[in-house]
Chains A and B, each alone.
Chain A
Amino acid sequence: MRRALFLLTLLTGLILAFLGFFLAAPVGPTSGPQISSPRVQFAPGIFVIGVALMFASAVVYELVPNGRGDSRSSGKGRP
């Protein structure tokens, strides 16, 4: 449960940040009116929300109580 929620937050953040960045930066022309506006309005906001979610996933990881199946794997991946 905890691990799943954490991964969900992290991945959502990553995807949003990635999407937001590339929706904000028009690819292709280097001149003309297009290069001055994001391809989708509020795309920079999506990027920022994505970045914030990525870091917030750490809070999810620590705060969400252990569900069934989490306790077994919690010792793994220790640095």
Chain B
Amino acid sequence: MPRYGMVIDLSRCYGCRACMVACKVENNTPGAHFWMYVFRIEEGEYPNTQVSFLPRPCMHCDNAPGVKVCPVGARYKREDGLVATDWDRCIGCRYCEVACPYGVNYFNWKKPEKNQYLDWDTPAAQVLGRVTNGAVPPYDNPDLDQPMKDKRRTAGGGQRKGVIEKCTFCVQRVEKGLQPACVANCPAFALHFGDLDDSNSQVSKLLAENPSFRLEEEYNTRPRVYYIGAPPPSAHPRQIEAVKARE
């Protein structure tokens, strides 16, 4: 069984946020939901300020607070280490969201009003579908709705009202041997995904060669996302150019 993890090279990230867009298109998340988010951070006092970038997917913690507190076990840890949400079991109490130190959970506050990125009924979508042989960003990715291992739901993106969803490391792609959408679409090759137990995998090599840190490690969450290429953010970072969407 692989032990999936992500390595993020901060020295390569220039904050373009292409990963955020790729994530939204792949997972069809509602407007204000950012399963992948990139902080643009300013540190220091003027004139000695410095800008840096910090991508924040779900950390898929080994000791995930969301898994520990879920009252019905809808949030669970898979054998391969991905932290998944069974949205057929989720009761929408939002405890996992409150307990997560990273703020990666998003609740579906309302019914989807429309197809987020492409309306199937529009002529444009039909034309695009013909051109790309059906490979258009889907409204309801059939992969996302499959009950997968252990008869548990794994992926999200269905925008079911009243349940929690979050980054899945694109489990529907990973199970086909593909990279998560954010990794596959990063123009700077800052994001890397692979098996941490395989010493020949790229992530293992990067971790062996570079000093790394993980976010909020002191809370004993044991995240599976490692950062290399830059020191951890200082104690008082200021976020600039923040996304402010609330609906």
Contact = CB atoms under 8 A, between A and B. Distances in A.
Question: In the complex, A touching B, CB below 8 Å?
Answer: yes
Interface of A: 30-33, 35-38
Nearest to A38: B73
B73 A37 contact: yes
Contacts of B76: 33, 35-37
Given A33-B76, A35-B76, A36-B73, 15 more contacts: A30-B63, A31-B63, A32-B79, A33-B79, A33-B149, A35-B67, A35-B73, A35-B77, A36-B67, A36-B70, A36-B75, A36-B76, A36-B77, A37-B73, A38-B73
A57 to B, nearest CB: 28
Summarize B's interface: helix, strand, loop or mixed: loop
Interface string B50-83: 0000000000001100010010011111110000
Contacts of B152: 33
B150 interface: yes
A79 to B, nearest CB: 38
B75 to A, nearest CB: 7
Interface residues of B, number: 14
A35 B62 CA distance: 13
Contacts of B75: 36
A30 B67 CA distance: 11
A37 B76 CA distance: 9
Contacts of A38: 73
A38 B75 CA distance: 13
Interface in B33-65: 62-63
A32 B79 CA distance: 6
A47 to B, nearest CB: 13
A77 B73 CA distance: 44
A33 B62 contact: no
B73 A31 contact: no
A32 B68 CA distance: 11
Contacts of A32: 77, 79
Contacts of A36: 67, 70, 73-77
A36 B78 CA distance: 10
A33 to B, nearest CB: 5
B78 A33 contact: yes
Contact of A33 (B63, B70, B150): B150
Contacts of A30: 63
B196 to A, nearest CB: 15
A75 to B, nearest CB: 46
B63 to A, nearest CB: 7
A32 B73 CA distance: 11
